[in-house]
Structure 1
């Protein structure tokens, strides 16, 4: 697979033996011409190789890595399969009516100048900003009519100025001709930059691959939480750091928080910032998904934290990346699809969103992959590292894998695969049935040692 070759090249080590990696199955699985399931499977296989590199450092042995493309497809829409225990003794799907209503508004709508524009309404405060620009009611028909009154680029600029979220739908060729597209095209899919010197830090001799690795997760809503959840699958101690009352999507919190703990810190207060710095001083990984520059204003820039904790791995996850004219903009899954050409070629009839959050999940797994590679480098040669991934880079990566013809409109994951992949867990957040880890390793089975926590249920301290 071309995707796997590109990913393993980032690793910078000898190519694994041909019988070490097994990817079973192929697209189409979901109703899209893009090879999103195969691409996700390649990223997950690369995660497995990186875990195996660490395992070899600990034990001298390598592992076999296996991933089923059908299960990778399911992982791209795992929140859809989340079920909560019902009073009748069974389980029922978790339904968020408010999110489903906003999803109907988050579509590529025609504009006055013959193009399409995709506004985003993911959280209430962002929705209010976009609706304020459009001057319409919160309904699909109201948004459609309002967007039709604008030229696409004028609307994009107005929503950007209002600090909302939305983008003109571009072809891939147009995106790569844009100044921002050119900036991203000049960078690797996963950026790993050494930002400080420190001595080597070998992995613990015993236990799972990431036993003893401490991860601070300051992210929310898909890509960032997926990155940290993936590290938890391999033994890392992951502590989520949020704030009481921070807007969230409840089903996403449940589905992406397996294996983690959760605490609250108010970073607007000196006490909260001091508390976070104390945690950082004893951490191995710091993962954040704020717009570029936001955390730096609070004293949490990569270089600041690398000075506080030499050897820290700092993961930054964003929509548009850290450089270029759009780097300050907010962005979600659908924006990554809209600007990179995926939405533009979503169907023969016209622009269409993917049937899964492929940019988000792929970015999350890429973030975990970058962290694993940086941890391995730290163990060999020391140093602090800044890892960067973005939704737009992931969209460009998916687009590079090409498309398929004749995909059935009702294509979807086999229900039997879902049933075989589901597990049950019970904790402070409730009792749920959900997808388990989909990656398979021959010696260290990926799993979570604790269920999803209730937000803020833990103290801001390491175990």
Structure 2
């Protein structure tokens, strides 16, 4: 069967990755056509886990002993023939082997070298073993759920740090490829696991320092138990969703009650308890499946989904039909269900090019290719870009988190992003200061014919359009991909939604909580009640992956002149985030840590309580004799244990809160946490970009503008006339 074309066809990637972050990043590149050559130690991957069947799919494999001169020489030859290198050792390890970023890029000036260390090379903890738990603990990852504070740290089995480093790193590689195609030069990229977690923190770190307001309770959003003992997550965030629910559930009289109105609850928080009591009782009258079928109403009702466990998600018909979950015949595990492709592309769809191969399976072919290839010539410096997307433009039609995060990421890489919002949207522009920094803002009514005309005039001359409405919604507005392509044939059009662009749930609306509920995250993390993960990991992850897809599409367009549509979804991200455990095969044991009492994976990788707080310790099996018992940990302070364990080569970090992470000196000085004045809001603290690009650095961009304040600059003289018609709001305030 002929291979499906991928956006990265013709590129060679050398994968030195171990454990999860590096192999996952290389896998995501392989899924889009890159020829990934995986370098294994002679004894195989350092972590023997079923996850390797996912992360090493579609790659060629060769074993090299990098402790020998011959092994290093072969590795150097492979690097010289490569477009991209991926590695996730501690800073300095590859340098000592003669395979580091500086030496490798000096010999191949087109090389893109991606490093995914546990701690960044400029972090004083750079030499500390960067186990998932060790890098996660200081950033608030174990400080409790989005739904409620925990009295003690809670371990999550979702490897957020490793996954986010891979997501962020892949987006960086795609943008570096765009830059290289434009000016001819590669660069070095670093996306540490620890720093990448700041992308996941998002709204947990957002603070309005001069006017912090209490967050009202939201009874119309949350998990509810049903008649069969199963739970659903119900999300009626808008008044029309509440209205649809009350009619569908046969209680239209509720609409006359003050507790059915968000504005009334804002004025009297006690009404939330009344609403919650009524909702609790009514959900107990039907089964979870009955409620899901009744409420969703063909995609038109308030988002509602059963709280599944991960084994159920693997077999959920929508997950299979949408290819969010796929099946391969693994050479070691046999027929295996696993997460599918994270980003789907309309013109260059990519494909999983087969299951993982056996160790060293491609040695002869790879060595023959290396001996026949010559190293890339070093070219003289020329005119270079200052940012990967400088001179490129994007229109961002998105709401809430995932889509605007994609647009924000494009702005960080240098694109001129115009954020278009509905001037009459209920609840306004939510979380504006977090998701819309670096963009210009226009309030434009796309439901008006004049508003659509303005949008299409802007869209005729942009490089990228990003939207995150549910399937079919933008078609009703006349701003869908096919409509835009008629006037801009080479546009890159990114569509992000909850459950994907195909399958029985494709038309359903959805939020972060729905993806967590459907994929098993909430069931695993909770006890008697499904519980949200600590961060909005699917929203922010989907936004970053959307930018990865846009970068690949722009790279393909630079090579071919062809635009295309890019798709990704919260449910895809939820599945990729769980790729360490989300697989099904004969003999599968679901034994990962679960519940609100979870402390870790075992005695060598877990949370421990010291005399004055908690820490996380991670060690290799051969270090077990140096790992204290829980009773011993209680005899010394966190600082004492961190010092003592790291001196022995064991990874250890204090457990911190999000607030501590956002106010930490290094986070502030490195721009991971940014506090700035915002017009009308005073001082606002947000996260900043975390990835480091040696040649085309990312930037945090301007503070989020007052909504609508760029209308005059973006629309010119006609903005005043459009303002008088009510099509544009805020046309006279400010400039771009």
Do they fold alike, i.e. is TM over 0.5? yes
- CA deviations 1:311-339 (Å, max 9, x no partner) are 10010011111111111111100001111
Relative to structure 1, the CA distance from residue 429 to residue 312 in structure 2 (aligned partners, 3 Å threshold; closer, same or farther) is farther
Is structure 2 residue 346 aligned with structure 1 residue 325? no
C-alpha separation between the residues in 1 aligned to 2:537 and 2:288?
25
Q: Indicate the larger mover: 217-226 or 426-435.
A: 426-435
Aligned to 1:97: 215
Deviation at 1:95, TM superposition (A): 3.9
Deviation at 1:132, TM superposition (A): 5.4
1:76 corresponds, among 195, 200, 204, to: 200
The question of whether the paired residues in 2 share the 8 Å contact of 1:119 and 1:130 is answered with no
- CA deviations 1:191-211 (Å, max 9, x no partner) are 11129xxxxxxxx96442101
C-alpha separation between the residues in 2 aligned to 1:207 and 1:95?
40
3-state SS of paired residue (2:281): helix
Matched ranges for 1:300-311 at <5 A: 300-311=479-490
C-alpha separation between the residues in 2 aligned to 1:141 and 1:215?
45
Aligned to 2:24: 3
Deviation at 1:72, TM superposition (A): 2.5
Aligned to 2:364: none
Deviation at 1:439, TM superposition (A): 1.4
- CA deviations 1:157-201 (Å, max 9, x no partner) are 121126111111112232232221112235621011129xxxxxx
Q: Indicate the larger mover: 119-128 or 447-456.
A: 119-128
Is structure 2 residue 648 aligned with structure 1 residue 455? no
The question of whether the paired residues in 2 share the 8 Å contact of 1:266 and 1:272 is answered with yes
C-alpha separation between the residues in 2 aligned to 1:251 and 1:241?
13
3-state SS of paired residue (1:316): strand
Deviation at 1:11, TM superposition (A): 4.3
The question of whether the paired residues in 2 share the 8 Å contact of 1:79 and 1:251 is answered with no
1:21 corresponds, among 99, 107, 114, to: 114
TM-score relative to the length of structure 2 = 0.57
C-alpha separation between the residues in 2 aligned to 1:64 and 1:416?
30
The question of whether the paired residues in 2 share the 8 Å contact of 1:120 and 1:130 is answered with no
Q: Indicate the larger mover: 126-135 or 5-14.
A: 126-135
Deviation at 1:221, TM superposition (A): 0.2
Aligned to 1:437: 689
3-state SS of paired residue (2:431): helix
Is structure 2 residue 233 aligned with structure 1 residue 109? no
Q: Indicate the larger mover: 258-267 or 412-421.
A: 412-421
Structure 2 spans left out of the alignment, 5+ residues: 1-19, 37-83, 88-100, 102-112, 119-129, 143-155, 260-271, 327-339, 349-382, 582-591, 601-606, 609-613, 615-654, 717-735
Is structure 2 residue 312 aligned with structure 1 residue 174? yes
Alignment root-mean-square deviation, CA? 2.6
C-alpha separation between the residues in 1 aligned to 2:529 and 2:157?
13
Rg: which structure is higher? 2
2:662 corresponds, among 394, 409, 418, to: 418
2:576 corresponds, among 375, 390, 397, to: 397
1:241 corresponds, among 407, 411, 420, to: 420
Deviation at 1:55, TM superposition (A): 2.3
C-alpha separation between the residues in 2 aligned to 1:429 and 1:236?
26
Aligned to 2:599: 406
Q: Tell me: higher relative CO, structure 1 or 2? Use CA pairs within 8 A at least 6 residues apart.
A: 1
- CA deviations 1:102-147 (Å, max 9, x no partner) are 1x66333321112111111333433444455565754444333332
Q: Aligned pairs, how many?
A: 446
Aligned to 2:460: 281
Aligned to 1:89: none
The question of whether the paired residues in 2 share the 8 Å contact of 1:217 and 1:241 is answered with yes
- CA deviations 1:377-407 (Å, max 9, x no partner) are 1001111210001111111111222355634
Matched ranges for 1:33-432 at <5 A: 33-86=157-210, 94-98=212-216, 101-102=217-218, 106-130=221-245, 133=248, 135=251, 137=259, 138=272, 139-161=275-297, 163-185=301-323, 186=326, 188-194=341-347, 206-248=385-427, 252-347=431-526, 351-402=530-581, 406-407=599-600, 408=607, 415=659, 417-419=661-663, 420=667, 421-431=672-682, 432=684
TM-score relative to the length of structure 1 = 0.89
- CA deviations 1:7-29 (Å, max 9, x no partner) are 22244335522442222244332
C-alpha separation between the residues in 1 aligned to 2:386 and 2:487?
28
The question of whether the paired residues in 2 share the 8 Å contact of 1:26 and 1:37 is answered with no
Q: Indicate the larger mover: 380-389 or 435-444.
A: 435-444
Q: Indicate the larger mover: 302-311 or 343-352.
A: 343-352
3-state SS of paired residue (2:132): coil
C-alpha separation between the residues in 2 aligned to 1:110 and 1:85?
37
